[in-house]
Amino acid sequence: MKLSDKILALRKKAGMSQEALAEKLSVSRQTVSRWELGSAEPDAGNLRELSKLFGVTADYLLNDDYESDGDIPRVREAEASLEKTEASLSEKTRTLEKFLLIGSAAFAIAAVAFLIAAIDSLNILFVVAALLNAILSGVLIFRYVSSKKKE
């Protein structure tokens, strides 16, 4: 189905006259008539407004392969899918943040424990272990702070 046919069908399905559609888009009735006759095509801004007005994607309007209403990719369905994806990502982000906080706390506690053991036994391996745990704790805290800044 061609763009001109889709505009005509969507306008009629919405129960709008050419005048009403022209008024909503701030164009003349003759412009809408030319779009529906196929002698002219809407510019990008008008395509965006048509897609919002009729609840379809610009891809549907421009793609001649979409023939029927069953082929219409609905804007609302795409937005709902996007919201579900964002919610899932948000939950995963919170889980990662918890991991970063728990991990950094664990490494900090281990660093203190190794430092106490190093002081008690004067063993260089405990000092190295304490330093490594302190560094790992710092890295995890840095990652946590960086993830918060991105929000």
Please write the tens of the pLDDT for every residue from 56-73.
Answer: 888 888 888 776 555 566
Q: What average pLDDT is seen over the chain?
A: 84
In this prediction, residue 65 carries a pLDDT of 77
Percent of the chain with pLDDT over 70: 91
In this prediction, residue 15 carries a pLDDT of 95
Q: Per-residue pLDDT for 8 more than 70? A: yes
Indicate yes or no: pTM above 0.75: no
Residue 120's CB is within 10 A of a number of other CB atoms, namely 9
Start-to-end CA distance of the chain, whole Å, equals 43
Here the contacts of 91-98 (C-beta below 8 Å, separation 24 or greater) are 93/147, 96/147, 97/144, 97/147, 97/148
Mean pLDDT value of segment 133-138:
84
In this prediction, residue 7 carries a pLDDT of 93
